[in-house]
Structure 1
Amino acid sequence: MTAMTTAAPAAPLRAGRVGPVATLRQTMTLAWRSLVQIKHNPWELLDLSIQPIMFLLLFTYVFGGAIAGSTGDYLQFALPGLLVQNALFYTLSTAIGLNTDISKGVFDRLRSLPIARTAPLSGRVIADTVKQVWAFALLVGFGMVLGFRVETSVFGLLGALALLVVVSLAMSWMSVLIGLRASSPEKVQMITFSTMMPLTFTSSALVPAQTFPDWLKAWSGVNPVTHLADAIRGLMIGGEVAHPTLASLLWSAGFAVVFAPLAIRAFRGRV
């Protein structure tokens, strides 16, 4: 007589809580994944390179003479603001890339792995920040070819880059949230562009705020883009640094505190 036994199905394995070291390693791995994609899609790097130069040439040689009296004077004033504009506009790609990955099922595959929930989001943000460093170097280098000069020091230039990276990292979480909530990459682009455009063009990034009407000047005084542009300008060509830098860091902390938890919560609900 043969005894028949039926084995109970094995319970699914549950991954333990991921520690901070493992989370950091997984985040950097996913960041590297995003950077390696440039090898297979070189147009992304070209887009990152051509757009800043196009804006620099357009604003300097089309609007520079009318705004500042000469293209040289306007270039000296506007390049720090264009660095800010480019950094903030590039957060659009963070939102679009994230939304595209989710739409294609990439995050469904990542969810099946025993990795930290924050790693896919943080990896994307870090990778796009590295790309912004490239855009910063390219824009400053091309600006110097046109006649721009750093009037402070190398440390001022590096400080401007560091501040721009910190603020971009913080504001990227707002783009991440939009990328998670929007239903398609097209809607992501529409929402983020509609947000970044007014912030940038109602600030002192491209024109002196003193030329604004009183009501717009009052808004420009609290606009985070104004504080960041003034800080970058002070670090690169001289002027007040402490107050706009502190204001930029406070705005960055606010963006990170508000939008990072909301983005992580939206990510858990989306995937």
Structure 2
Amino acid sequence: MRGLEVVPSGRPGRGRLYVNRPDGRAVAWYDRRTNRISVLADDRREAVLAALRPYLSGGWTIGPPPVPTAADLRRLTLRTDQDLAPNRPGERLLGELAYGSPGSRTRHRMRQELRARERMGAELDLLEESEAHWRALHDIPLPGLGLLDHLLIGPPGVLVVRTVPGRRQRARVGDLLLTVGRGEPTPDPRWIRRAATYAARVLTAPVTPVLALADASRVEVAPTVRDVLVLQPPTAAATLTAAPVTLKPPDIEALFTLARTHPTWSGG
């Protein structure tokens, strides 16, 4: 079969490789964790193998797919331009820095924000790669709110994460405002609560708001802040993996499939 395209299901090096027709519909996929190729129609086997040949290694197997879950069926109809999973941490900032023309002060601030998002994003991606049943997304557009830095789905539940550069200064988290060093207070605690409320509505699941302070010398959290989780790289993953389990693996996959779909957020 001619015109097949190999498309990753997430960031490079993880997850599945899908073999899609020109219209974006999948005819097969290669699961790199199990080294198995699942083909939807046996008469396309040779064409699928030809498309995947550069990506295969070791003792791979090929055959019909297992009975698909609801999440699998939803993913098979997802067009590549609707998939948020390939987004890198700070994807939008990378584009603005590369192709925009901000002033020097704005560019410096954007670079600080990008480093913070990349650092936190790398920790979440490593958690996804090294631990079972964790899924991370980055740069999710929320109508009326802007861009959500990270969304994490795992055994403890769904978490929305706003990352703030600590700039090696003391950070103070209050009920309504966040202050880093001697800078002006910002409404990040209120913003992440609103983002969590929006995400809970569109995903129909409880969502925990999270503030991640990257490179802060010290973080002080007001005792009245009980609904917002405050994390710091590089200890964020250890905190998350120690949290109580609330979601089972099938629920994690179903929520991840829903969350990675762009229309999920635009239609909320």
TM-score (norm 1): 0.29
TM-score (norm 2): 0.29
- When you count strand as a share of all residues, which structure comes out higher? 2
Q: Name which one, 1 or 2, has greater alpha-carbon Rg.
A: 1
Q: Which has the higher contact order (CA 8 A, sep 6+)?
A: 1
